[in-house]
Chain A
Amino acid sequence: MNIWDWEFAWRIMPLLLDAVVITVYATVLGFAFAAVFGLVLALMRRSHRPWISLPTVAFVEFVRSTPLLVQIYFLYFVLPEFGVLMPAIVAGILGLGLHFSTYCSEVYRAGLDGVPRGQWEAAVSLNMSRYRTYRDIVIPQAIPPVVPALGNYLVGMIKETPLLSSIAVVEVMQQAKIIGSETFRYIEPITLVGAFFLVVSLVAMMGIRRTEAWLRQKVLGSH
């Protein structure tokens, strides 16, 4: 048996590409959820009311300290006990979204905290309201550091989607395993999956670096 069979690799490509669609779909939905819910968590964490901020801190720390895989199992196996039935892919997307929302919330928090205190003080000296200060002064300045950090977690998330194979979602990793078990050739499918993630990461990282420089130039006018 030869080590690498190009002809076989070529033959399984369409199957893998079909599964890539599921991978991308889960990532896009999961990340949309994470980005929005992360913002909610960040604002709750900044609340001056301890009965809002403290449980939020606890939730974020708990979710960040425990494995995504177990969280996916939790959603997939435990929620039906309470009558919440959902397809595996939905449990997977929800798991990805919840897990990464805690990372996103930290990104937002760092972005907001990174705006110098003097900016808030200048806004006070101009008698601007809190809402106006957030909207016109703080948030625009928080965007250049936040966007690339979110981009990194987006790449992080796509690399975690193979975990959905553990609840039988046929994303690209699961497809590769199915091909492997049917043909007894694992090297081509799994290597191709790895190559797919590698290309996505490298391209995305380059894009993120460009975007970061562009945003900094655009928002702050610095070089």
Chain B
Amino acid sequence: MLKTIENSAAVTQAADQNQSTPPMVRFDKVTKRFGDLVVLNALDLDVAPNERVAIIGPSGSGKSTLLRLLMTLETPNEGVIYVEGEPLNMMPRNGKLVPADERHIRRVRQRIGMVFQHFHLFPHMSALGNVIEAPIHVLGLSRQEAVTRGEELLEMVGLVDKRDQRPSQLSGGQQQRVAIARSLAMRPDIMLFDEVTSALDPELVGEVLSTIRRIGEEHNITMLIVTHEMGFAKEFADRVCFFDEGKICEQGPAKELLTNPQNPRTQRFLQAVLG
């Protein structure tokens, strides 16, 4: 568990909010271990508002863990994660940062949404039911409002005619698009995508990627995207971070890094992936 931090820089960071625009997401020396295995090692990462960051790297390098920490599905062992200047896993109390309680986490987490590799749709609800569940019970929208908005979102992902179908009656690509609509319905400022096309048959990958492109066009949302689709990363992301062994090994503008990597490890990885 995380101890109280008396690092004054960390505390002022929280108060900084009004002076300059803070990054939308900041990882400050975040370490995550599973037992003896160090998955993230004192990681620093800033993501600007509306920035789209693609995260690539070999299996086991800690990409999912990064997103899961930000979604509060895991808790860091050390370090602080900030969302627009506000600490997420910690909270200020008497001028110190102490481990956050459930209330604090839920308030800050409100701004983050996530799309999973295996969709995790609620199997006992229709497509529309999946999309309106949290807006009604978490945001407190009226059913009417939630349905109107839910239908708009299903329209956007091209599935409004499937609104009453159960997930088991949808294809993988359709399920993933419903999951994207479900996440968008919470109006997140930050969206996390963890290999959202990896579980799909090749012919279904395109429809999901174009849905993500469309979100990029129509919404101002900061995105962290773990992906193996290098073509998509190159054309869609502003920046690419190459992860290896729990560290950012190399990062830079997407086109530059993907066409002309500097680090030998990045070169080897890209060579292997692109063949």
Contacts and interface: CB of A to CB of B under 8 A. Distances in A.
Complex contact flag A–B (Cβ < 8 Å):
yes
A2 to B, nearest CB: 59
Interface in A201-223: 219-222
A222 B165 CA distance: 11
Contacts of A141: 122-124
A118 B124 contact: no
A42 B48 CA distance: 46
B124 A122 contact: no
Interface stretch (B90-98, B112-120, B237-245, B247-255): B112-120
A182 B133 CA distance: 66
A190 interface: no
Contact of A126 (B72, B138, B167, B169): B138
A171 B107 CA distance: 59
A118 B122 CA distance: 10
Interface residues of B, number: 29
A126 B124 contact: no
Interface string A113-131: 0001011011011111100
B137 A128 contact: yes
Contacts of A221: 123-124, 166-169
Contact of A136 (B123, B137, B167, B192): B137
Nearest to B192: A125
B166 A220 contact: yes
Contacts, number: 71
Contacts of B113: 125-126
B162 interface: no
Interface residues of A, number: 20
Contacts of A124: 71-73, 109
Nearest to A223: B168
Contacts of B183: 125-126
B88 interface: no
B109 A127 contact: yes
> Which of B72, B133, B169, B186 gathers most chain A CB within 10 Å?
B133
9 contacts: A124-B72, A124-B109, A125-B183, A126-B186, A127-B109, A132-B137, A140-B124, A219-B123, A221-B167
Interface of B: 71-73, 106, 109-110, 112-114, 116, 118, 120-124, 133-134, 137-138, 166-169, 179, 182-183, 186, 192
Give 7 nearest A-B pairs by CB, closest first.
A221-B166, A126-B134, A118-B120, A122-B120, A125-B114, A222-B168, A219-B124
